Amino acid sequence: MAQKDKVKWDKKYEQTPTLLEQRDPSKKLVEVLAHVQGNNALDVACGSGKHAIYLAKNSFNVEAMDISSVALKVLDKKGFTNISTKLADLEGFTPAQNSYDLIVKTNYLDRVLIPKLANALRIGGVLFIETYMNHESNEKPNSNPNYLLAKEELKTFFDNHFEILLYEEFDNESYEIYRMKKQAIAVKRSH
């Protein structure tokens, strides 16, 4: 496990517990759910489980992975029997191929992981990604550009084996401290 990432995130959540409060799911994910068939879901970098909980309430069986034991403890305490949490480092992680009906990755960018998540979809499965973009209107100072998407970047990860169900660039949620641009994509594996 990348110990320094674990220490960083555990500390961040301990110092700012509001980050662990339950929030509404992404509006884009809510739109996309109508396109998902089957109930086997993976939420990577789940934090305290904003989306894992939303999916569990919508009858999915969810594997929820994160590097922070502080965040996963909060999720475990909610007691959802259809969420199984896994403390894991996603760097170097490869999920089993052809396994999931829905994979969700929000507010976390690891470009190497994206094609692996695409391969982990069953035929007909949906991958939903939403995270921050590099944009001149962003308010957050000192953001590491490696963790910010370029304009239209999420589209570049998918070939003709995938149908784009949704692609949008938009402003982040009003409860966040800084105004930032975000990008979301949902793709369906067609073959």
Ligand X SMILES: C[S@@+](CC[C@H](N)C(=O)[O-])C[C@H]1O[C@@H](n2cnc3c(N)ncnc32)[C@H](O)[C@@H]1O
Q: What is the contact surface with ligand X in residues (CB under 6 A)?
A: 2, 5, 9, 45-47, 50, 66-68, 71, 89-91, 106-108
> For residues 33 and 163, which CB has a smaller minimum distance to ligand X in the complex?
33
Which segments of the chain are extended strands (E)? 40-44, 61-66, 83-87, 100-106, 121-132, 162-171, 181-189
Q: Order of strands across the sheet with 121-132?
A: 83-87, 61-66, 40-44, 100-106, 121-132, 181-189, 162-171
Task: Decide whether 10 or 163 has the Cβ nearer to ligand X.
Answer: 10
- Shorter beta-carbon distance to ligand X: residue 44 or 121: 44
CB of 35 to ligand X, least distance (A): 20
Closest C-alpha to 45, from 99, 101, 97, 106: 106
Measured from the CB atom, the residue of 91 and 152 that comes closer to ligand X is 91
First to last CA, the chain: 34
Instruction: Look at strands 162-171 and 181-189 and give their pairing.
Output: antiparallel
Nearest distance from C-beta of residue 44 to ligand X, angstroms: 7
The residue number whose beta carbon is nearest to ligand X equals: 47
CB of 191 to ligand X, least distance (A): 29
Least distance (Å) from ligand X to the CB of residue 31?
Answer: 16
